[in-house]
Structure formats: structure tokens, C-alpha cells
A = this chain, B = another copy of it.
């Protein structure tokens, strides 16, 4: 049993997260990370991690539970009416990706997931599952007559996309932050717009 100091390990991971999100995986050097972590020698990193890629993998590993956290207790959400479920979903989304941590994660994910192929598969699986779940939920609500019939695959992406735009504006295209509303306000408006847009039309 090798008893690696867990705090030192985390310290290195925190530094790596920061450096990766700023320079990208390929441009970030072990030296950069060591300096950011306040280590006197880059060699120490190799006591806790076998190589540079494992740093990336360890960071992105946390993305799976984070993503799943967005869809808390899907069973419960599945039964609620759209007003409740969509708002819950939007708020989870904002809570997770609205933080600096979430933003850094997203940036690393967008830029460097290709450098961790085995994780790409995992995360892809989670994403697909979530989208499928959400589509199924929308279909259910349509069947119940609570939403108007349409292609649920598209509808799911439209809703998620409207939320994604907020995170992209605040964390990726940081020059679009100007004039950006509060995450809560934005989430409410996104939900409201989508919900109204999906209402069954009594007229015509």
C-alpha cells in the first residue's frame, strides 16, 4: 500500500486544472504545473502521477459525477410537470457550470478531451444518456398533452443550447460577459421562453 499524501496530490491537481484551462493540455508543461503548485521540482509530480496525461485524466474524471449531478434523481424529475423539471434542470446546470470550476472544466473539455480518448468514450456515454433521458421526458409530456408535439431530439438540444449559451458567454468567450444577466435571471428567462414556445396552441 503506497500511502500517497492526498493533500499534495490534490494540490497538484488544482494547479494542473488551472494551467490546463489557461494554456491547454499540449502547451502546458510539467514545469508550469509544478511552479503553479509551488513545488521546488517538477520531478515530484511523478511521485504522484505516472505521466502528464494522467493529470488530465484525473481532472476530467471528475466531470462524470459533475455531469450526473446535473440530472439529480432523474426518477423524480421525470414525473414532475415541465414548469418544475425544466427549472430544476436549468438551475442545476447553472450551478454546476456557472462556477469558475465548471467553466475551467468546460474549457478543458472542449479543448483537450481528445488527449484522453478513454475518457471521451465515458463522457460521451453520459452526455448521450442525459440527452436521451431528456428527450424521453419531453415525449412523455407531449403524450400527456402538456407540450405541443414536435421532434423531441431537437427540442432537447434547443433547450440545453439556450443554457449552454450562457456558460459559453461567461466562461469561454469571456468578451461576451459584458451585459450578461445574473445566472438565475437568465435561467428563468430561458425556461420561460422554451416553455411558452412548447405550449400547446389552442388557437388556429
How many copies the complex holds: the figure is: 2
Of the listed stretches A35-43, A52-60, A74-82, A148-156, name the one at the interface; the rest are far from the partner chain: A148-156
**A contact face: mostly helix, strand, loop, or mixed:** helix
**A171 → chain B, closest Cβ, in Å?**
12
Q: Assuming the A-B contacts A161-B161, A162-B158, are A24 and B176 also in contact, with contact meaning beta carbons closer than 8 angstroms in the complex?
A: no
> Which parts of A24-64 form the interface with B (CB within 8 Å)?
24, 26-27
CB nearest neighbor in B for A195: B197
CB 8 Å contact bits of A153-172 with B (1 = contact, 0 = none): 11101111111111011001
Of the listed stretches A2-10, A97-105, A123-131, name the one at the interface; the rest are far from the partner chain: A123-131
CB nearest neighbor in B for A186: B154
Contact partner of A197 among B127, B163, B176, B196, CB < 8 A?
B196
By the criterion CB–CB under 8 Å, are A176 and B127 in contact? Answer: yes
A114, A124, A158, A189 pick with most chain B CB within 10 angstroms: A158
By the criterion CB–CB under 8 Å, are B161 and A181 in contact? Answer: no
Chain B residue contacts of A110, Cβ below 8 A: 110-111, 172
By the criterion CB–CB under 8 Å, are A166 and B157 in contact? Answer: yes
By size class, the interface of chain A is: 35 or more
CA distance A177 to B37 in the complex (A): 39
Q: Assuming the A-B contacts A114-B24, A176-B127, are A181 and B197 also in contact, with contact meaning beta carbons closer than 8 angstroms in the complex?
A: no
Chain B residue contacts of A115, Cβ below 8 A: 27
Q: Assuming the A-B contacts A127-B173, A161-B165, are A181 and B193 also in contact, with contact meaning beta carbons closer than 8 angstroms in the complex?
A: no
Chain B residue contacts of A168, Cβ below 8 A: 161, 164
By the criterion CB–CB under 8 Å, are B173 and A166 in contact? Answer: no
By the criterion CB–CB under 8 Å, are B181 and A192 in contact? Answer: no
Chain B residue contacts of A131, Cβ below 8 A: 176
Chain B residue contacts of A154, Cβ below 8 A: 181, 185-186, 189-190
